[in-house]
Structure 1
Amino acid sequence: STEVFPTASTIKLPILTEFYDQVGRGKLDPLATALLTDELKKGGSGILQ
């Protein structure tokens, strides 16, 4: 197909999958909090930007 559409938040799907996998294996506490600083944030690139 040549139809172009926005990717929106599709990156969240593999991140969520990994999160649940690590919770299931006991490597992450699902109730824990984490601080995401500006230095850790990444922007989009290329066609996905």
Structure 2
Amino acid sequence: VDMFIRQSWTESRLNIPEDMFEEGDDYVTLPPEFFDNLWQPDPYFLNSKVS
């Protein structure tokens, strides 16, 4: 079985204040501990079978 799964979600806690960006930057580097409290999806398939 070949599958393609795409998930997306919006996390309002990731709205980063504009003042964290320096002029001309398209990104901001976050400290590693920021990710400790970030929700991470754990998808599963209902009624799945293991072979």
Q: Could you say whether these structures have the same fold, taking a TM-score greater than 0.5 normalized by the shorter chain as the test? A: no
Q: Which has the larger radius of gyration?
A: 2
Q: Which has the higher contact order (CA 8 A, sep 6+)?
A: 1
Bin the TM-score by the shorter chain.
Answer: under 0.3
- TM-score (normalizing by structure 2): 0.25
- TM-score (normalizing by structure 1): 0.25
